[in-house]
A and B are shown apart, each in its own frame.
Chain A
């Protein structure tokens, strides 16, 4: 079945560090990928929609200059949390949808647990 690989699975770093998270679709092409954030005991919150070859679409309240998204190929999107602070500590999850199959399920990566000290 469709597989999405997300790396790294866990990051612990000091405040002020920038952290890059990669999301890869392994056996399908994904024009669109999605980045979510989930705080403990809360629901998934869509941060942004990553579009291959164009700018990402950010949800209201998400700072595009802080959460940089690059979707340079049909199989890779990256999220960079710039100058991370303790309040950015969260579970970040990406998902991808097979190109041309908009009504099909999104396939999720395993998530990245980010802890900023």
Chain B
């Protein structure tokens, strides 16, 4: 079967750095996406990785290792507004997105 694993909840301090991990097992691979979802809102796109390595975009970076079936989202200089759920999704060989359950990130002052 196909599955995506990510921690259910994480807590971090304002100004700090946090890494959210995602491991996956899917039928084929056409890329991995990270989305941010604030409570009561729709997801918004953060990053896309299809090749191994680190993609940096401002305070957010995303890393992929295809051989390990592993990705992480790194958030630096945390702000209170970063409190949200972070969804990992993998596109399989049929270009269908397989979604993780999301990681709820709580930022404390």
Interface residues in chain A, defined as those with a beta carbon under 8 Å from any beta carbon in chain B: 6, 34, 42-44, 46, 49, 91, 93, 102-111, 113
Contacts and interface: CB of A to CB of B under 8 A. Distances in A.
Contacts of A104: 48
B30, B40, B48, B97 interface centre (most CB from chain A within 10 Å): B97
Contacts of A6: 42
Interface residues of B, number: 20
Interface stretch (B11-19, B58-66, B98-106): B98-106
Nearest to A104: B48
A106 B41 contact: no
A94 to B, nearest CB: 9
Contacts of A103: 30-31, 50, 91, 95
Contacts, number: 42
B87 interface: yes
A110 B42 contact: yes
- Interface on chain A toward B: helix, strand, loop, or mixed SS? loop
Contacts of B30: 102-103
Classify the interface of chain B: helix, strand, loop or mixed: loop
A116 to B, nearest CB: 18
B43 A44 contact: yes
A110 B97 contact: no
Nearest to B98: A46
Nearest to A44: B99
Contacts of B87: 43-44
Contacts of A110: 41-42
Nearest to B31: A103
Contacts of A111: 41-42
Given A46-B97, A102-B95, 15 more contacts: A34-B97, A44-B99, A49-B96, A91-B40, A93-B42, A102-B30, A102-B91, A103-B95, A105-B45, A105-B48, A106-B45, A108-B44, A109-B42, A111-B42, A113-B40
Contacts of B44: 108
Contacts of B72: none
